[in-house]
Amino acid sequence: MPGYSRDFSLHTKLKNIGIKNSKNWTLYWKLVDNKIHRSLNMKVFVKLIVIVVFVSLLSCPLWAASSDSHDVTVTISAINEVAVSGNITMTVNAAVPGQPPTAVQNALSTLDYTTNSATAKKITAGYSVTGGATGITLEATAASASGTSAGKVALGTVAVSVITGLTQCSDPAQVLTYDVTATEAATVGDHVFTVTYTMVDE
Residue 53 beta carbon to other proteins: minimum distance, rounded to whole angstroms: 8
Residue 2 beta carbon to other proteins: minimum distance, rounded to whole angstroms: 6
Residue 107 contacts other proteins per CB under 8 A: no
Residue 159 contacts other proteins per CB under 8 A: no
Residue 114 contacts other proteins per CB under 8 A: yes
Residue 154 contacts other proteins per CB under 8 A: no
Q: Alpha-carbon distance 137 to 128, whole Å?
A: 13
CA 67-73-65 angle, to 5 degrees, is 5
- For other proteins, the closer of residues 1 and 96 by Cβ is 1
User: What are the φ/ψ torsions at residue 36 (nearest 5 degrees)?
Assistant: -70, -45
Count other Cβ atoms within 10 Å, centred on residue 161.
16
Q: Which amino acid appears at position 41 of this protein? A: N
- For other proteins, the closer of residues 125 and 182 by Cβ is 125
Residue 86 beta carbon to other proteins: minimum distance, rounded to whole angstroms: 14
On whether the CB atoms of residues 127 and 196 are closer than 8 A, the answer is yes
Stretch that binds other proteins, among 18-26, 89-97, 107-115, 175-183 (CB under 8 A): 107-115
Residue 118 contacts other proteins per CB under 8 A: yes
Q: Residue 174, SS3? A: strand
Q: Which amino acid appears at position 158 of this protein? A: V
Question: x/- string (CB under 8 A) for other proteins, residues 54-83?
Answer: -xx--xx-xxxxxxxxxxxxxxxxxx-xxx
On whether the CB atoms of residues 118 and 168 are closer than 8 A, the answer is yes
Number of alpha carbons in the 13 Å side-chain half-sphere of residue 179: 11
Chain positions contacting other proteins, by CB under 8 A:
2-3, 7, 36, 39-40, 44-45, 47-48, 51-52, 55-56, 59-60, 62-79, 81-83, 112-118, 168-174
